[in-house]
Structure formats: C-alpha cells, structure tokens
Amino acid sequence: MSRRLRSQTVGSVSKHGNQAVQLQLQSSTSNSVPEETTTKNVNVEMEGGGGVNGFNLNGFNLPEHVVENILSYVSDQDIPNCRVVCHTWKHVLSSKSLWKLRFQKRGVDWNEIQSFITDRNSTNMWALLHSHMCHGILHKNFISNPSGHNGFEGWDMEPPIFENPWIIEEQPMACSPLPNAPLFGRVDQCCFATCFGYKNFTVDLWDEGLTPALTKLLLPFQIKCSQLFSTRVDQQYNGSANWNIYLWNSDQNIRIRQLTGRIRVNFSIRSTGEWQKREWVFKFERDDLSIRDLENMRYVQFLHAGVCQTDPLIEEEPDNGAFKFSHTCVTIEGLPDEQTPAGLGPIIHSQIDGRKGTLRSSFRV
C-alpha cells in the first residue's frame, strides 16, 4: 500500500554536510485505510558532502523533488539556517522551483515580481525572494497611508504656522473627483489638503526588509516616487506647493540624494481642478557611485508643503484645502540589465553637487 509524506519538522540540524542529520518525519496512510499517524526518527546521510539527489534515507535515495517539497514547509525564519546544513539543501533552497512552490503555498503571486529579477542567474537570489515573502518589498507601496484613509498616521507635522494647517477631505472639495484606479489594491477617494502646512513621511528601508546587501543584489534598480495633486477651482490665489524626496543615511544627517518638485499658481490663472500625476526616480546602476550610496542608505523621506494667499483685491482669506495631495507612493523596481527605462514621468535635470555622492534634481510645473 502506498504511503506519502504528510509533514516534517526538523529535529536537530547539523551544519556539517558529511554528518548525519536527524529528521523527525510524520507519515500517514491514505486511500481507504483509516488514517494512522506515526512519528519516528530517521537517519538521513549526506553522500559526498551533500550533492544533488544525495539524500540516502535508510538505504533509499530520496529524490530531489521530494526534498524540495519537504523544505517548502520550512518556516521563513529557519530558511537561512537550513541553507548551511549541506550543499544539497543549499542548492534546493536556492532553486526557482522551490521558491515558486513556497509562494504558491503561502498564497503569494509569483507573477507580481518582474520576470527579469526571477530569471537572474544568481545563487543569492533566494535572499530577495525570502525578503519579499516576509515583507513584500518588490510589490508594495512603502507609504502605508498614501491619501489619508488612516488619518495622519505615519505623517509627521512640522510646527504649524497657522491653526489646523492640514485637513483630510473624504471627498476632494472644489476640484475633480479622484480617479478610480487602484493603488496596490486600494481605491482611495480621500486626500490631504492645505493652504499653509508642512508634513513628511519617513520610510525605514531596513525595517521594511530592504538591507544594503539586498539593494546591491537587486542592482540595477530604481526607487520610484509618485503622487497625484490638484488645486481648488473656486478661488483665485497666489502661492506654491512643494514636495521634496530625500534619501538619508542611517544617522539621518547626510542626504544621499534628493529630488524637488513644485506647483506654482498665480492670480491670473484659475485652476482647472484636474488631478495630475508626477513621477520621479532614483536610479541605481552597477557603478561605484551607486554602490557607495547604497552602503549606508536607510531612509526615504517624502515631504509636502503648501503656502498660498488670496488676491489682494479680495479681502477674505483662502479656505483651507487650496493644495491637495493623494496617492503618495514609493516603490522599489528592478531594471533590466543594460537597459535605460523610458516614459517614467517628467524629465528630470540632474547634476552632482559639491557634496560627496549627493544627487540634486528639480523641475517646475
């Protein structure tokens, strides 16, 4: 009668490939026989230092696809330890087929990762896939509260110049409705609005699972930042709304790179109230400057600011909500080798300034 493996737990794991490993395997019968579960210790020998298909289970060679299926149940925390048991386990735990199986069992969509990342021929690619399973680093918005659906959670307010410098509009007022396009599964219809306010959101990349070692493994890649913005249509006013995006070191005392954008409005031009999208990228190649920047890059900071005044011929002060921001987004995207991406938003004019490794860029709308 056929028997099949049901589950496995690692009893004691040796870090030396030529020594025996004790596995506790739980097996059970299937088909019409009442299920009987037993637990026993089995000696598994690593032949020849643990080569591929090198498992000998009580004199029976254990096929690699069976080992792969067993290891697909190992917890995320135990994966790094299991890789140092022997060469065979390291090989299996580095294989694309094993990780596709793990993704399937955890309900993670394999296709949400760009194919030119998963197709890269690197024995260390498992580390990126492992971090994606734990943190979703390759398919998510690192701004957890992009439009105000959780109030101001995650956003730090600068000391206000005026009372209530920022408000959240559940439905944007005096402008067009927000588009219904989902942002990583969310369809937000709310927005942040201000006339005189500053706020910022800081992402800790290391806490989010993107360490310097992983960023180097991901090269080439880009950090893409985007947002929607609009202005009121029912008042004439003068002013500007700015957004700054900074990449900081681990001590937050050195700006590694930065980008700046601006909306200007004046009394003679009345807003259309349409929502507009802007995108910017920090691109990292396999060059010395990028590698040096990645050594200590830890934080991404997205800052919003707005200051305006009404037409001097009109005595009333502007209503709050002159400038509106929504769908603020920061993503990590791999790039194909030796290929420059096109069509990623407005043209950004960049130059290296006098500070070491600092990229300063700006544009105006």
From the list 24, 209, 211, 225, the residue with the least C-alpha distance to 134 is 209
Instruction: Report residue 337 as tokens.
Output: 């080798």
Distance between CA atoms of residues 78 and 70, nearest Å: 13
Q: Give the 3-state secondary structure of the chain.
A: CCEEEEEEEEEECCCCCCCCEEEEEEEEECCCCCCCEEEEEEEEEEHHHCCCCCEEECCEEECHHHHHHHHCCCCHHHHHHHCCCCHHHHHHHCCHHHHHHHHHHHCCCHHHCCHHHHCCCCCCHHHHHHHHHHHCCCCCCCCCCCCCCCCCCCEEECCCCCCCCEEEECCCCCCCCCCCCCECCECCCCEEEECEEEEEEEEECCCCCCCHHHHHHHCCEEEEEEEEEEECCCCCEEEEEEEEEEEEECCCCCEEEEEEEEEEECCCCCCCCCCEEEEEEEEECCCHHHHHHHCCEEEEEEEEEEEEEECCCCCCCCCCCCEEEEEEEEEEEECCCCCCCCCCCCCCEEEECCCCCCEEEECCC
The gap from C-alpha 17 to its chain's centroid, in whole angstroms, comes to 35
pLDDT at res. 3 = 36
Q: The pTM is what? A: 0.75
- The CATH number of 155-362 is 2.60.120.260
From the list 209, 214, 166, 212, the residue with the least C-alpha distance to 190 is 166
* 22 bridge partner residues: 12, 43
Domain boundaries, the chain: 3-29+38-134, 155-362
Q: Do domains 3-29+38-134 and 155-362 have the same CATH topology?
A: no
From the list 298, 293, 341, the residue with the least C-alpha distance to 114 is 341
Distance between CA atoms of residues 229 and 277, nearest Å: 7
Distance between CA atoms of residues 192 and 201, nearest Å: 13
pLDDT in tens, the chain (365 residues): 333 333 333 333 333 333 333 333 333 333 433 444 333 344 444 443 344 445 666 777 778 888 889 899 999 999 999 999 888 888 899 999 999 999 999 999 999 998 888 888 778 899 999 999 999 999 999 999 999 999 999 999 876 655 668 999 999 998 999 998 888 888 999 999 988 889 999 999 999 999 999 999 999 999 999 999 998 888 766 778 888 999 999 999 999 999 888 777 654 556 788 999 999 999 999 999 999 999 999 999 999 988 776 555 555 555 567 889 999 999 999 999 864 443 333 333 333 232 333 333 332 32
From the options 1.10.3470, 1.20.1280, 3.40.50, 1.10.357, give the CATH code of 3-29+38-134: 1.20.1280
CA distances from 219 to 213, 284, 338 (A): 10, 7, 11
